[in-house]
């Protein structure tokens, strides 16, 4: 603790007799303690008021934190109560041709730096229909690629978790598969079951809305899931960079805003206002860490790759599948899965062998392509990204296998 002394000299004018002829140009000044009445000309009174305001403003700025408000003054003419309401005792003034008073303010406040804000912990689930931008947003939040992306639905088939760490706390983000409306295939049905289960774990959920597309049945299903969740909710309007003119459907979703605890407009692809979204998330997370969250965070931090819950096999298989989604046409990507069979670090090179599984023999031929051109292109794109991520030389060997039963093994 330390003491700061602020001093100010000012002249409050000469006591004069009240004169009826000059009453209109005079201002009555009441001293709140002894009731003495003086008169000041308007100019002197204005200067006096400005000076007092300046002194009080200086006092206000010296009080660093609300918790360190003025609570104790010395025996000077000024007093402050616990609410910082000031009262003035009549000061000791020297008699003379003019009344001149010196005011000394002794302010006690804490000069140490304020304590760091207590950290928050929680689990945040990203919710939305297919291609709403959930995986892109997660990658932007984490600062690196942890979830694969493509313009096609069903790119995200499993819940992907990633750990975000900042000075404000630690958050486990969950990227969930997009909810689809009409699903007939086994994989699609299994995917639709994953998101509702993940919502049960949420301390806070972010509903991502693609405002460049009109509201449809898929959106209605997602909104219904959000409404049924007891967690706090943020409505995030995504793709504000492309939602323009005829592609702007923001008005279709404005009615939802009253149901949410926060609303943010972002572009996940351009990273526009993503920091504002993170700030809003920390604001809404519970002050007390939810049960089990710190244990889950420690478990993730103890892994070889603490950022994501994916194993090396899973990460590699997802990168290969992403490239298949980008290269293959029509319905082909939805018939494909990837299994990593071998990862062999030989020091100067990492050898990876993986199988591309498809449900039909005719798809197998299409995936391989003429003179193996298609599978080679998938392999080249996957190898380049894996080399970029690992900063190592990669040898990638891909084999296409027809296996109609792989969807049954999908978990």
Q: Angle formed by the axes of helices 361-368 and 373-390, to 10°? A: 70
pLDDT digits (tens, 9 = 90+) for 106-158: 333 232 333 456 899 999 999 999 999 999 999 999 999 999 999 888 899 99
> Does the pLDDT of residue 53 top 70, yes or no?
no
pLDDT digits (tens, 9 = 90+) for 24-46: 443 333 333 333 434 445 566 56
Q: What is the pTM of this model?
A: 0.70
Instruction: Compute how many other C-beta atoms are within 10 angstroms of the C-beta atom of residue 98.
Output: 12
Instruction: Compute how many other C-beta atoms are within 10 angstroms of the C-beta atom of residue 238.
Output: 28
Q: How far is CA 40 from each of CA 44, 46, 91, 304, 311, rounded to the nearest angstrom?
A: 6, 9, 18, 78, 81
> Does the pLDDT of residue 255 top 60, yes or no?
yes
Q: How many angstroms separate the CA atoms of 149 and 133, rounded?
A: 8
Find the helix or strand (DSSP H, E) in which 227 lies: helix 217-228
Residue with the bigger pLDDT between 283 and 110: it is: 283
Residue with the bigger pLDDT between 95 and 188: it is: 188
Structure tokens at 237: 């309007």
> Does the pLDDT of residue 72 top 50, yes or no?
no
Q: Where do the domains of the chain lie, and which CATH numbers do they carry?
A: 2-109 (no CATH), 120-301 (3.40.50.300), 312-409 (3.30.300.20)
Backbone angles phi, psi at 389, to 5 degrees: -70, -45
What whole-number percentage of the chain has pLDDT above 90?
58
In order, the DSSP letters of 4-52 are: EEEEEEEE--------GGGGGGEEEEE-TTT--EEEEEHHHHHHHHHHH
Instruction: Compute how many other C-beta atoms are within 10 angstroms of the C-beta atom of residue 35.
Output: 8
> Does the pLDDT of residue 379 top 50, yes or no?
yes
pLDDT of amino acid 183? 80
336 band by pLDDT with thresholds 50, 70 and 90 = very high
Q: How many angstroms separate the CA atoms of 327 and 380, rounded?
A: 11
Q: How many angstroms separate the CA atoms of 160 and 300, rounded?
A: 13
Q: Which residues are CB-neighbours of 408 under 8 A, at least 6 positions away?
A: 186
Label residue 124 left, alpha or beta by phi (over 0 means left) and psi (-120 to 50 means alpha): beta
């Amino acid at each position: 603790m330390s003491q700061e002394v602020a001093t100010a000299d000012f002249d409050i004018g000469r006591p004069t007799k009240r004169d009826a002829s000059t009453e209109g140009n005079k201002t009555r000044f009441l001293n709140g303690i002894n009731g003495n009445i003086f008169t000041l000309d308007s100019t002197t009174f204005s200067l006096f008021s400005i000076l007092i305001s300046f002194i009080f403003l200086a006092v206000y700025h010296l009080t660093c934190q609300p918790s360190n408000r003025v609570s104790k003054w010395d025996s000077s003419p000024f007093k402050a109560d616990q609410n910082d309401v000031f009262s003035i005792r009549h000061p000791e003034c020297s008699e003379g041709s003019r009344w001149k008073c010196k005011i000394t303010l002794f302010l006690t406040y804490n000069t140490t730096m304020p304590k760091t804000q207590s950290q928050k912990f929680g689990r945040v689930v990203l919710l939305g229909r297919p291609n709403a931008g959930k995986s892109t947003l997660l990658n932007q939040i984490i600062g690196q690629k942890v979830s694969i992306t493509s313009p096609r639905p069903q790119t995200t088939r499993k819940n992907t978790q990633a750990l975000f760490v900042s000075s404000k706390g630690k958050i486990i983000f969950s990227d969930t598969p997009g909810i689809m409306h009409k699903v007939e295939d086994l994989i699609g049905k299994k995917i639709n079951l994953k998101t509702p289960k993940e919502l049960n774990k949420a301390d806070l959920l972010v509903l991502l809305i693609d405002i460049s597309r009109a509201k449809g049945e898929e959106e209605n299903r997602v909104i219904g899931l959000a409404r049924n969740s007891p967690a706090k909710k943020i409505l995030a309007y995504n793709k504000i960079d492309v939602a323009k003119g005829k592609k702007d459907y923001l008005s279709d979703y404005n009615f939802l805003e009253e149901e949410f605890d926060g609303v943010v407009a972002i572009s996940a692809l351009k990273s526009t206002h993503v920091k504002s979204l993170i700030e809003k998330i920390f604001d809404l997370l519970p002050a007390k860490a939810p049960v089990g969250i710190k244990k889950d965070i420690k478990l993730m931090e103890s892994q070889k790759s603490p950022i994501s819950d994916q194993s090396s096999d899973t990460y590699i298989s997802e990168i290969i599948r992403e490239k298949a989604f980008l290269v293959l046409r029509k319905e082909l990507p939805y018939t494909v899965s990837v299994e990593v069979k071998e990862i062999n670090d030989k020091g100067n090179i990492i050898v990876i062998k993986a199988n591309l599984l498809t449900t039909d023999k005719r798809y197998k031929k299409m995936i391989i392509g003429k003179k193996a051109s298609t599978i080679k292109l998938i392999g080249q794109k996957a190898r380049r990204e894996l080399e970029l991520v690992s900063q190592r030389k990669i040898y990638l060997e891909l084999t296409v296998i027809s296996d109609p039963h792989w969807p049954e093994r999908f978990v």
